[in-house]
Amino acid sequence: MKCIVCDRGDEETLIYKAIYGNEVVDICEGCAKKEGAMIIHKPTAEQLDSVNKRVSVRERMERLAGVSRGIPEPLPREQITTGAVKNNMEKLRYPSHKQGTELLIENYYWELQMARRRRKSTLRQVSEETGIGLETLEKL
């Protein structure tokens, strides 16, 4: 085999298969670097075995994310009470407690619909009886 660029033989240098232009050619490593050819390496037996090994979705996702398996180490106490963790905890917005009153009916839209259906009334009839606009009732 000879390098397609410099005509050196395999006794002088290592010749590789590479993608050069639109074809696969024999080329030496030096010419491949100069010409920007992509050397084709055969996979090792270890690489072939790893492809045939069945891996769970979780393991693949952990490998992609760079997460190691196992329980994460807890943060040191001083890091929690000072520094970035404390600042980030202060920035968290917790939802406020629901305000309640006896006058507020839980699931009022459901109660309104059930009462209307028990009376066999349409929304238009309820609107006329109560004086509440039809659009308002539809939004409720």
The yes-or-no verdict on residue 94 having pLDDT over 80 is no
Is 88 among the domain residues?
Answer: no
Q: In what order do the strands lie in the sheet with 23-28?
A: 23-28, 15-20, 38-39
Is 117 among the domain residues?
Answer: yes
Is 76 among the domain residues?
Answer: no
Is 102 among the domain residues?
Answer: no
Is 29 among the domain residues?
Answer: yes
The yes-or-no verdict on residue 36 having pLDDT over 80 is yes
Is 53 among the domain residues?
Answer: no
d(CA 75, CA 23): 55
Domain count, the chain: 2
Regarding pTM above 0.85, the answer is no
What range defines the domain where residue 123 resides? 108-139
Is 85 among the domain residues?
Answer: no
| Average predicted confidence (pLDDT) for the chain | 81
Q: pLDDT tens, 76-85?
A: 776 666 667 6
Q: pLDDT tens, 9-19?
A: 878 888 888 88
> Per-residue confidence at 71, pLDDT binned at 50, 70, 90?
low
d(CA 138, CA 140): 5
| Amino acid at residue number 33 | K
Is 50 among the domain residues?
Answer: no
